[in-house]
Structure 1
Amino acid sequence: MVQKIVYDWATGKIYPNFQFFFSFKFRDLNSINCRINLRNLILDQYPYFGNVLGELWKNPVGLLFIFDGLDEFNDRIDFADTRRDTEPQSMCTDPEWWCEVSDIVYSLIQHKLLPGCSVLVISRPTALHLLQKAEISIWAEILGFVGDERKEYFNKFFEDRAVAEAVFKHVEENEILYTMCYNPSYCWILGLSLGPFFTQRDRKQQQVPKTITQLYSYYIYNILKNHSREIENPRDVLLKLGEMAFTGVSEKKIVFRNEDLIKYNLQPSQFLSGFLMELLERDDSVQSVVYTFPHLTIQEFVAALAQFLTPDPGDIGKLLSEAHSKGDGRFEIFLRFVAGLSSAQAARPLEKFLGQFLHQTTCGVIDWVKEKVEGQIGNMKSETGKRNLLNTFHYLYESQNKTLTQATVGSVKTLTFSELRLTPIDCVVLSQTIGLCDTIQHLDLERCLIQSEGLKRVGPVLHKCQALR
């Protein structure tokens, strides 16, 4: 997306008032472990600006700084902490001053450094709370594909128009998959995962994935089906790859180097290339190969999968609780995948190539989800409590365990999500949860910013609510 913005600006389509764009990825900034100034930060990526930066500082209004992937940044930027404005070691009001990278980003956003310049910060929703105290004039949600654009994507993805229509028809009939289609990356995974169901005669239509976990399960299944002959023990390799992926999620790391592969006893191979992309990275004029998963959600899924492949799972409940305790959302999608992989529908296709998932782990995950839901039901007063409860509903949805859902929330009388922004996917999850409940005496959705698509999802179950706010 950032490339598209920069390209449109360079070709004169947008933002004619800006003279220069400087784009940075937080994942790259993570590698800077010493104090640096803005001048050198720019010259590290744009060395040809060496002789003109002094002039650029004089007219900051013509500069746009783009910082992509706040959720991937290892250092925490606390905009509520005013000490940055008073402590000399943290203050950064001059582009020539040496500071921590986080101080430079903070000072640019808060207009302390180069006042008058513009800053665009891009983040997953999981890290938006970090910006709540920042001086931000415009908030924008990236909508991605809307309406017929989703259908257009599948028509372009598949050469066979009949297959494209069949895949889109299935997606359209499944609320969660259709809602996911706003994201082009999800559309790509949908195309890869669903296509074989409508092009291969041996695939049964009733097994088409219905949840996000099931979708990713079939994405990995297709890789294993095409590459499993190239390796003796795919389970062992997926376990090691998943352990590396889990460490990456823990450390907000999405780029891996040869030393990471060696640490987990992984060898670059045709089989591994089905899961990791090779990229050339420049470092001090030397090119080296680094590795990354095609999408962060794929890394998160493989990390979750590893929990079911290990022969010695230890205390899975403790691991999940520690992950859940992280307040920055880094494990949010991982936990949904773990809950989803406890279901037979998601596990079954992978077990054909990887062997049986450990029953002990599956039971431990179900017990943990049950404990979390029951613990959150009575904690809906704070925004954090509401968000945590909604996340547990996502765990229930991905698990597709109706018995568990009815046992934990079936008798709930009050649900309060007021002032918590609900996405269309949240509304799908909430709809299924309410659908499995007895009568809800009071449902509070005040100021949840539910728009037409979200209302369409939750509307069919509102008759179960005696009072709606």
Structure 2
Amino acid sequence: MESLPKTVTQLFVTFVTNILANHNQNTGDSHTARELLTSVGWMAEHGVMNHLIVFDERYLKSYNVRNDKHLFSCFMMESSQPSNMDYTFLHLTLQEFFAALAHFIDYNADRLQKTLHAAESYNDGRAEILLRFLCGLSDSSTSFLLKSHVGELSVQAAGDVITWIQHKITKEQRSDKRKLLNTFYYLHENRNKALVSQCIGSNNIDLSGISLSPLDCSVLSSVLQSCTESEEVKLNSCHIRDEGLRKFIPALHSMKRLGLYNNDLTDSSCPYLASVIRNNQTLRTLNLSGNNLEGPHFRDLMEALTTSRIEGLLLYGNHLTHSSCPHLASGIKNNQTLRTLNLTDNNLEGPHFRDLKETLTTSKIAERVWKNGRRVRRFANVEGAKSANRLYSAP
């Protein structure tokens, strides 16, 4: 790799490769390393599937693991009781990596299918990282680094895993959202843009209602960047904060409708949201309702609106006050495409409300609203904040 690791699999491939390159007493002897990694890998998989992280001499003997090899001590630690020696991997994630690697060193189609079936059947997530490593090692550019140290890795194993991903994502798109997010991790680790395009394409993505960590946002972003165009992405009530939103920015460039309703977005999120709007000329509907965007940076969002092609903007329940009215007025006045604006459940009462009202009376929004919207016609004839808090556009 010419740059830093981009996936967890690449990170562990780099780590193991460095150990094989610098701590193998039989440098250049791929057979020795291959033999050890195979036996250690099968023992590791048994441990992953059975919640086992401590192995005694019986396990080593059962899986033909020779602890007299120097490389063995680079991957596993001994307990401090010589009379009853136990061994553990340096880290549980390393154990999971070796469990996946064994399938590419010592490929057996039936055994791999059995592992895939068993791993996805566990509801406690015990094999989730193992599955991600299997997907990551199926990327030839990721596994290539290991070739000079352990020999050829199985192309058939990679093909089997990719086929499994294809079936998996087709099934999960219609079922559990959390499981769908897991399949995005598989695609992220696999790094196959053609596969992403095939599996997701322009399908709508809805992960509403599940909490998305910054890492989840980063993974989802990397997958979405491989999609040429998505009609709609719904991330409502996902507890996305500034850090997660910042990671999304590179991916939010091609969708037509974006839902970010009821997240933890605040005024400090507005510069990121502004960047999303400026860099996406296909975006037509943006739902930012149920956040708290009131503050000095709200101006950035409205300035970005002036150069966008957004037709619908929903700002319901954002704690907006009269100080936001001049920015709203400027954004509406200078936008040529906006037709739908929802400002319900804000508090726009105050001296600057007149700026917004005057703009609406001459805007294209107002033209439609005055003709079609009973509630807004009432607003046209009533002064004050109560009507302002009911302001919407035509449906």
After TM superposition, the score normalised by the length of structure 2 is: 0.61
Gaps of 5+ in 1: 1-204, 380-384
Alignment counterpart, residue 427 of structure 1, candidates 217, 228, 231: 217
Alignment counterpart, residue 41 of structure 2, candidates 242, 250, 271: 242
Alignment counterpart, residue 227 of structure 1, candidates 18, 23, 32: 23
Q: Name the structure 1 match of 2:273.
A: none
| 1:207 positional shift | 5.0
C-alpha distance in structure 1 between counterparts of 2:94 and 2:187, whole Å: 20
C-alpha distance in structure 1 between counterparts of 2:246 and 2:3, whole Å: 26
Alignment counterpart, residue 263 of structure 1, candidates 57, 62, 65: 62
C-alpha distance in structure 2 between counterparts of 1:454 and 1:278, whole Å: 40
| 1:405 positional shift | 0.7
The question of 1:321 aligning with 2:95 is answered no
Q: Is the 8 A contact 2:208 2:237 kept in 1?
A: yes
After superposition, the C-alpha distances for 1:105-133 in whole angstroms (9 at most, x for unaligned) are xxxxxxxxxxxxxxxxxxxxxxxxxxxxx
C-alpha distance in structure 2 between counterparts of 1:311 and 1:463, whole Å: 41
The question of 1:338 aligning with 2:338 is answered no
C-alpha distance in structure 2 between counterparts of 1:439 and 1:347, whole Å: 30
Secondary structure class of the residue paired with 1:218:
helix
| 1:468 positional shift | 2.1
The question of 1:365 aligning with 2:192 is answered no
C-alpha distance in structure 2 between counterparts of 1:328 and 1:402, whole Å: 30
Q: Name the structure 2 match of 1:377.
A: 173
- Deviation larger for 252-261 or 240-249: 252-261
Alignment counterpart, residue 276 of structure 1, candidates 76, 79, 85: 76
Secondary structure class of the residue paired with 1:242:
helix
Q: Name the structure 1 match of 2:251.
A: 461
Alignment counterpart, residue 391 of structure 1, candidates 171, 177, 182: 182
- Aligned pairs for 1:400-415 (under 5 A) are 400-412=191-203, 414-415=204-205
After TM superposition, the score normalised by the length of structure 1 is: 0.52
The one-letter code matched in structure 2 to 1:306 is A
Secondary structure class of the residue paired with 1:345:
helix
C-alpha distance in structure 2 between counterparts of 1:291 and 1:389, whole Å: 36
C-alpha distance in structure 2 between counterparts of 1:287 and 1:421, whole Å: 48
Secondary structure class of the residue paired with 2:85:
strand
Secondary structure class of the residue paired with 1:431:
helix
The one-letter code matched in structure 1 to 2:149 is F
Secondary structure class of the residue paired with 1:443:
strand
Residues 289 and 443 (structure 1), Cα distance of their counterparts in 2 relative to 1, 3 Å cut: same
| 1:434 positional shift | 1.6
C-alpha distance in structure 2 between counterparts of 1:217 and 1:237, whole Å: 16
C-alpha distance in structure 1 between counterparts of 2:145 and 2:96, whole Å: 18
After superposition, the C-alpha distances for 1:135-156 in whole angstroms (9 at most, x for unaligned) are xxxxxxxxxxxxxxxxxxxxxx
C-alpha distance in structure 1 between counterparts of 2:135 and 2:20, whole Å: 22
C-alpha distance in structure 1 between counterparts of 2:186 and 2:63, whole Å: 29
Q: Give the greater-gyration-radius structure (CA).
A: 2
Q: Name the structure 2 match of 1:254.
A: 53
Secondary structure class of the residue paired with 1:280:
coil
| 1:298 positional shift | 0.5
C-alpha distance in structure 1 between counterparts of 2:150 and 2:110, whole Å: 20
After superposition, the C-alpha distances for 1:221-251 in whole angstroms (9 at most, x for unaligned) are 1111123334752111100100000000001
Residues 233 and 313 (structure 1), Cα distance of their counterparts in 2 relative to 1, 3 Å cut: farther
C-alpha distance in structure 2 between counterparts of 1:333 and 1:364, whole Å: 18
- Aligned pairs for 1:300-311 (under 5 A) are 300-311=96-107
| 1:464 positional shift | 2.4
C-alpha distance in structure 2 between counterparts of 1:324 and 1:239, whole Å: 23
Secondary structure class of the residue paired with 1:292:
strand
Gaps of 5+ in 2: 260-395
Q: Name the structure 2 match of 1:101.
A: none
Residues 207 and 349 (structure 1), Cα distance of their counterparts in 2 relative to 1, 3 Å cut: farther
C-alpha distance in structure 2 between counterparts of 1:298 and 1:319, whole Å: 18
C-alpha distance in structure 2 between counterparts of 1:435 and 1:261, whole Å: 44
Q: Name the structure 2 match of 1:348.
A: 144
Paired residues, number: 255
> Identity of aligned pairs, percent?
38
Q: Is the 8 A contact 2:202 2:231 kept in 1?
A: no
After superposition, the C-alpha distances for 1:238-268 in whole angstroms (9 at most, x for unaligned) are 0010000000000111111111111111121
Secondary structure class of the residue paired with 1:448:
coil
- Deviation larger for 239-248 or 217-226: 217-226
Residues 311 and 365 (structure 1), Cα distance of their counterparts in 2 relative to 1, 3 Å cut: closer
- Aligned pairs for 1:157-168 (under 5 A) are none
Q: Is the 8 A contact 1:213 1:398 kept in 2?
A: yes
Q: Name the structure 1 match of 2:235.
A: 445
- Give the superposed CA RMSD: 1.8
Secondary structure class of the residue paired with 2:84:
strand
